[in-house]
Amino acid sequence: GEDVEQSLFLSVREGDSSVINCTYTDSSSTYLYWYKQEPGAGLQLLTYIFSNMDMKQDQRLTVLLNKKDKHLSLRIADTQTGDSAIYFCAETRVGQLTFGSGTQLTVLP
Amino acid sequence: DVKVTQSSRYLVKRTGEKVFLECVQDMDHENMFWYRQDPGLGLRLIYFSYDVKMKEKGDIPEGYSVSREKKERFSLILESASTNQTSMYLCASRTSGDDTQYFGPGTRLTVL
């Protein structure tokens, strides 16, 4: 298909790990991105990974990239209530970003 | 830090009104974008501009136009607002040679 796909909802307990998954379509994408959107706000760049990497770690965030399956994931360790937000993955396509529909992460106390 | 600002956070307009949404960036970025965001649909590209006075249609340009008279400013125009244009509108910018886009805080537009 032509869409970047994500599941719409994810709930986790505070302190657990969250894993948000994404499948993309363009194997020539140079970068793949994760953006975070808090309620009522714009999108904030969270992290990105270059397409020749398999993994990138940044504090509590781990990005895994499986180019063969065109699968991208974002793992948030020790999830906190402040991590509750919508998370968008995006691929580069012809110089533009194509976004998934976003995953609403809810962190339960 | 890149700063992208949008003229209004919330806007309420009536059907048939002409609506202007303004976006300003302070990082001398060549490329600017307008998206709309609807629940379950993610972000959809309306228009983008890669230079002053240049514009390109995105995926859903119908009912919208844009203006880029200065490099730092990109305006989205709804010539005659309709209720199906009620949405969150997001502006973004990036420099040429870097795919990373930086977003403004968004304008939530309600058309009654």
Q: Does pLDDT of A5 surpass 60?
A: yes
- Other Cβ atoms closer than 10 A to A10: 17
pLDDT at A1: 43
Residue B76 · residue B45 · CB < 8 Å: no
Categorize the per-residue pLDDT at A101 as very low, low, confident or very high, splitting at 50, 70 and 90: very high
Share the mean pLDDT of chain A: 92
A39 burial type by CB count under 10 A (0-12 exposed, 13-18 middle, 19+ buried): exposed
With CB atoms and an 8 Å threshold, state whether B103 touches A35: yes
What does the alpha-carbon distance between residue A89 and residue A46 come to, in Å, rounded to a whole number?
A: 10
pLDDT digits (tens, 9 = 90+) for B12-37: 999 999 999 999 999 999 999 999 99
Query: What percentage of chain A exceeds 90 in pLDDT?
Result: 78
- Which chain B residue has the Cα nearest residue A48? B100
Q: What letter does residue A49 receive in the DSSP assignment?
A: E
Closest residue in B to A95 (Cα) is B99
For residue range A13-59, list pLDDT tens digits in order: 999 999 999 999 887 888 999 999 998 889 999 999 998 999 999 99
Residue A17, SS3? coil
**Residue among B43, B48, B106 whose CB faces A41 most closely:** B106
Look at residues B3, B43, B44, B30 and name the one whose alpha carbon lies nearest to residue B94. Answer: B30
> B44: alpha, beta or left, given left = phi > 0 and alpha = psi -120 to 50?
beta
Residue A86, pLDDT > 60, answer: yes
B7: which residues sit within 8 A by CB, 6+ positions away?
B20, B21, B22, B23, B107
Shortest alpha-carbon distance between residue A29 and chain B (Å): 10
* Residue numbers in chain B where pLDDT is lower than 70: 2
- Does A43 contact B90 at a Cβ distance shorter than 8 Å? yes
Best B91, B99, B110 member to test A by mutation, with max A CBs in 10 Å, is: B99
Give the span between the Cα atoms of A22 and A91, in whole angstroms: 10
Q: How far is CA B7 from CA A30, B51, B76, in A?
A: 33, 21, 11
Q: Provide the 3-class DSSP secondary structure of residue A52.
A: coil
Looking at the complex, does the CB of residue A96 fall below 8 Å from at least one CB of chain B?
Answer: yes
Task: Output the pLDDT for position B57.
Answer: 96
